[in-house]
Chains A and B, each alone.
Chain A
Amino acid sequence: MLSLHARLVARDERALAELIEAIAPWLLGMAQALLSDPDEAEEVVQEAFTIIWNRIGQVPDEPRGLLAWTLRTTRNRAIDRLRSRKRRDRKFAHVAANGMNGEPVAAAEPDEAGTPGWHVHRTVHAALQALPREQHFVVWLAFFQGLTQTEIAERLGIPIGTVKTRLRLAFDKLRLVLASLKDWIV
């Protein structure tokens, strides 16, 4: 049986539909977190799938190849939009309004547990929750809100060196946990 990657290379439209069904909810979640705009998030996801379909030949056919490429492409497109449209000010306002209250990275609803890749989300979410709160917060600002380390330092009123240290400590821990996860799309 051909892999999803191989079927996409063969221009199998059914494979494209399967890829969308499997990963679009995660891409939309990430894009909406970054852009705070559902319509724009859909546009970014559309762009990401278009890029993947057009450049599938460049995607390495290996574990973490297709999915990693898709996730990274979507996040990069969302951040490009975020920065090119000067929306950081609004993002600042959004962050200021929410502050440290609430759940930085919301847990999925129980009825979403059947979503493909759910076990990955559960592991990542647990790893984030296990971080000290100040590390968790800078990761949230950097990775899920799209702020630069300079913006984070300004937002939190702390030296950029402190931001870098917190991020490095946090990502070192996260890398250990995430390294054990395997691709869930075949």
Chain B
Amino acid sequence: MTAHDWYVDNRLAFATRMLEGKEESVFANHVSRCIDCRAAVAQLERDLTWLPMGVAPVPLRPGLTHDLMHGVLHQRRTRWWQWTPALAAAAALVVALAVWTETRREIGGLRSALEARQGRLRATEDSLSAILGAERVLQETVRGPGYKGGFLLFYDQDTERWNVVVHDLPPARAGEEYRLWFVTDRGLLPGPELRANGRRPTFLTLPAAGPSGDFVGAVLTVGPAGEPTGRPRIELARLTF
């Protein structure tokens, strides 16, 4: 049996719609290409033209002819009106979905921004509470070309630590750094680097005893990056107790 024999065997079933959906699709595709099968199916359809009239006719209910005429002749307008509510509902649904999605996105963005601000607020409140409760608070304004920042030093008796804050300083230029220096009775001792970004305050906490015994003040400098050497640095602010 060849592959084409299956089509020959099922011509009648195809012509009378007795094939399953998938088989029918396969056969229809074949018929569009096969002249023999197309001719055979057409002949079967012609031969069986009157077979549907084997069923009894159903008398037309009153008004059906008019309804059918009206349906045919006013199909476009009817169809347009029929689809209008559905189209309107679909459009409204799409708009509502878009608004809902956009609103959710905005709410998500606002929530994230709020959480970030709340985090910064809590951090600021923590810092302020420490500052407000501090026994000693020293501060100095730091001025430079195009900026005005601050240098803050205070002691937190609860944690027994010195806290250093610099704020509103621009980032150090390439090859330079901000650095904290401790003022001791033996002179200036280098402290840690302070990284300023201009947007948020930089916070540093130090043990009350200092790096090498008590210190009496602190200095903020800007100068060449790297381990402190004898190279010149610019003193931006000095705080002494």
**Residues of chain A having any CB pair with chain B under 8 Å:** 13, 16-17, 20-21, 24-26, 28-30, 32-33, 38, 41-42, 45-46, 49-50, 53-54, 64, 67-68, 71-72, 74-76, 79, 83, 105-109, 112, 115, 117-118, 120-121, 123-125, 127-128, 142-144, 146-150, 152, 164, 167-168, 171, 174-175, 178-179, 181
Contacts and interface: CB of A to CB of B under 8 A. Distances in A.
Contacts, number: 144
11 contacts: A17-B69, A24-B60, A24-B65, A30-B55, A50-B75, A64-B46, A108-B57, A121-B57, A146-B17, A174-B48, A178-B50
Interface of B, helix, strand, loop or mixed by DSSP: helix
A26 to B, nearest CB: 5
B51 to A, nearest CB: 6
Nearest to B45: A72
A67 B50 CA distance: 9
B18 A149 contact: yes
B45 A106 contact: no
From B16, B65, B68, residue with most partner A Cβ within 10 Å: B68
B232 interface: no
Interface in B2-33: 9, 12-13, 16-21
B56 A108 contact: yes
A108 B59 CA distance: 10
B108 interface: no
B230 interface: no
Contact of A174 (B46, B51, B59, B60): B51
Given A68-B46, A167-B18, A29 B51 contact: no
A41 B45 CA distance: 22
Contact of B48 (A106, A123, A178): A178
A73 B123 CA distance: 78
B64 A42 contact: yes
A24 B68 contact: yes
Contacts of A149: 13, 18-19
Given A67-B49, A120-B53, A128-B54, A20 B68 contact: yes
B47 A53 contact: no
Nearest to B58: A28
Contacts of B17: 75-76, 79, 146
